[in-house]
Amino acid sequence: METVLFAVGIFYILVRIQMNDVLLPLSIRNSKVVHIDDVANGLACGCSCPVCGGALVAKKRGQKQHHFAHHSSEECSGALETALHLLAKQILVESKCIFLPELKARASSKDRVGKKYVEEELIVSPGLYQLDNPFHEKKIGDVMADVFATHKGHELLIEVSVTHFVDEEKKEKIKSINKACIEIDLSQLTKFSVEYVKKRFWKLLRVSGFGALNTKK
């Protein structure tokens, strides 16, 4: 099951990222993902690369687009994708919620005369769901989940995909431990412009602070 990540409260970080540009707008500071607009200029930002861990410089003065650059080494490929992956997990753990789209199970069959019958069952109603005790990188059996949480006593594995998706081998491992799993597809965020993201998620972006986080399903 694929879903789009809606991060109430700190999702606003994503709308400030010019995703269709090669410049890096995210970095790591104090073990958390931060945006270029939220740090001091230059080495005073105290930030590091999400891939190699090297020191980054925040370039904010006289720049058309504010961005991070490596202080004493070449730029790392895949830094934006890695930062997005880390940010998604950070959002889920800190906000303790996830917005899920509608999910229906559908089955069809034919009788002896060829008449077709279709049955549908609603599995998940669209809305904001509370995540209880979410953890980063928790191993369940042979499966290392990006995020592990519970909802009303039911255990849930959450996989965040930017460039690498859950393969058949991991799917079989998840089936073997009989756990529910959601795969969040963030691959398109590397292509969307800021204006597109703002328009697409405007309704949720109007939610102020963490006011909606106590909503339960």
Q: What is the mean pLDDT of the chain?
A: 76
Q: pLDDT tens string for the chain (217 positions)?
A: 333 333 333 343 444 444 434 578 889 999 988 888 889 999 999 999 999 999 999 998 876 778 899 998 888 888 888 888 888 888 888 888 888 888 888 888 888 888 888 888 888 888 888 899 998 888 888 889 999 999 988 898 999 888 888 888 988 998 898 888 888 887 776 554 444 443 444 333 333 233 333 333 3
pLDDT for 30 equals 93
pLDDT for 3 equals 36
pLDDT for 205 equals 34
Contacts 24+ apart (CB under 8 A), 76-80: 76/49, 76/51, 76/52, 77/51, 78/51, 78/163, 79/24, 79/26, 79/49, 79/50, 79/51, 80/19, 80/24, 80/25, 80/26, 80/190
Q: What are 160-204's pLDDT values in tens digits? A: 888 888 888 988 998 898 888 888 887 776 554 444 443 444 333
- Helix ranges restricted to H, the chain: 12-15, 79-95, 168-177, 194-200, 202-205
pLDDT for 57 equals 94
What residues have CB less than 8 Å from 187, skipping those under 6 apart?
Answer: 161, 162, 163
pLDDT for 46 equals 95
pLDDT for 193 equals 44
